[in-house]
Structures are given as C-alpha cells and as structure tokens.
C-alpha cells in the first residue's frame, strides 16, 4: 500500500513540475503515473550500473557527477515514454533536482511516528 502511495505522490510531483518547468511536458495523469513507475525502475536497475561505471569521475568531482547520472536517467525515461518530454539535459538536471526535493517533502508526509 505504501508503494502505491509513493508512486502516486511521485506522479503528483511529476505533474506539478511539468506545469512549472517549460522544458518538461507530460500529456496526462496516466502518463505521469507511468513516468513515476519507469523512473523508479530505472533508478533501481540502471542507476547502480551507471554509478559503478562512472565511479572514478564521481570521485574526482566529489559526487557532483551523480547529478548528471540523474539527468541521464530522466532522459532515458523521456526516450522510453511517448507522452513525457524533456527538451535538454539542462531541463533534465533541473527537473531531477526539483523532483528529488519535492519527493522528499511529499514522502515525509507518509512517515509514521
């Protein structure tokens, strides 16, 4: 049940950010749910592989290259989903940062005391 709520909150964050950022677009709410699911799967499967492959660069940049990896994950989701569009890597980077921030706020509502 908590997983479904997290996906729905992520989809809500995707919709809100697509309304705010002009370089990001989502066709409808169903597409936003698909984006949330695909992003979670890509973060679970592809991101660890990319982190391991780019470990030397990540160490040299003191971890800042992880932001680029997150933007690459967003662009991969853009290529996989037809109703989701991101114009450039800079919009993907900004979308990634704001999505992480918004998700942390929304997920804090789910925490139980």
Which residues constitute the domain of residue 98?
2-108
Q: Does some domain include residue 53?
A: yes
Three-state SS sequence of the chain: CHHHHHHHHHHHHHHHHHHHCCCEEECCHHHHHHHHHHHHHHHHHHHHHHHHHCHHHHHHCCCCHHHHHHHHHHHHHHHHCCCEEECCHHHHHHHHHHHHHHHHHHHHCCCCC
How many domains does one find in the chain? 1
Q: With cut-offs at 50, 70 and 90, classify the pLDDT of residue 2.
A: confident
Q: With cut-offs at 50, 70 and 90, classify the pLDDT of residue 111.
A: confident
Q: Does some domain include residue 44?
A: yes
pLDDT the model gives residue 112: 66
Q: With cut-offs at 50, 70 and 90, classify the pLDDT of residue 84.
A: very high
Mean pLDDT of the chain: 93
Q: Does some domain include residue 104?
A: yes
Q: Does some domain include residue 113?
A: no
Q: Does some domain include residue 40?
A: yes
Is it the case that residue 113 has pLDDT exceeding 60?
A: no
- The string of pLDDT tens digits covering residues 29-65 is 999 999 999 999 999 999 999 999 999 999 999 999 9
């Amino acid at each position: 049940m908590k997983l479904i709520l997290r996906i729905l909150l992520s989809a809500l964050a995707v919709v809100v950010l697509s309304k705010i950022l002009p370089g990001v677009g989502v066709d409808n709410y169903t597409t936003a749910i698909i984006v949330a699911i695909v992003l979670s799967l890509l973060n679970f499967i592809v991101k660890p592989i990319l982190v391991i492959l780019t470990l030397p660069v990540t160490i040299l940049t003191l971890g800042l290259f992880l932001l680029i990896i997150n933007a690459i994950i967003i662009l991969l989701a853009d290529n996989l989903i037809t109703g989701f569009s991101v114009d450039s890597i800079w919009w993907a980077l900004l979308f990634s940062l704001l999505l992480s921030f918004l998700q942390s706020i929304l997920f804090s509502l789910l925490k139980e005391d």
